[in-house]
Amino acid sequence: MANPCWKCANAYGGCSWSRNFQPVEGWIAKFVQHTKCVPGFTSYNIIFCPEFKPDGSEQFYKNRFGLKYDPDIVFKLISEGKTEDEIQKLVLGIPKRTIRIYKMAYYVWKGGEEKHNGHSHCD
């Protein structure tokens, strides 16, 4: 899952992070310092937040944009090192172009420093 804040009902002042950029007690998060997109910008990639409350946006976007493939499933297969052909077979014919988009999103979610096809997501 991408940073849970993006889909959290507490995102607008309902937690210590959204109120004053203080880490939430009980977070599992990775400190990141961006070097390419916004030099000197620091933040966190949040893996787990005990204050997370779904805001309903995930279902909205699935309905609105017709997302057909569950990102959590595709991300899991990517993290396991599955090839595009293997993912395509396991996710009922997901187009390779779509897999590449999910891969880019996965690497951004992981912190953005990984390279894919020789480029970072900021290139």
Q: What pLDDT digit, counting tens, does each position of 25-41 carry?
A: 988 888 888 776 667 77
pTM confidence score: 0.46
What distance in Å separates the CA atoms of residue 82 and residue 101, rounded to the nearest whole number?
15
Residue 122 confidence (pLDDT) above 60: no
- Tens digits of residue pLDDT in 64-120: 545 577 777 888 899 899 999 999 999 888 899 888 888 877 776 665 444 444 444
Top-confidence residue, 122 or 31: 31
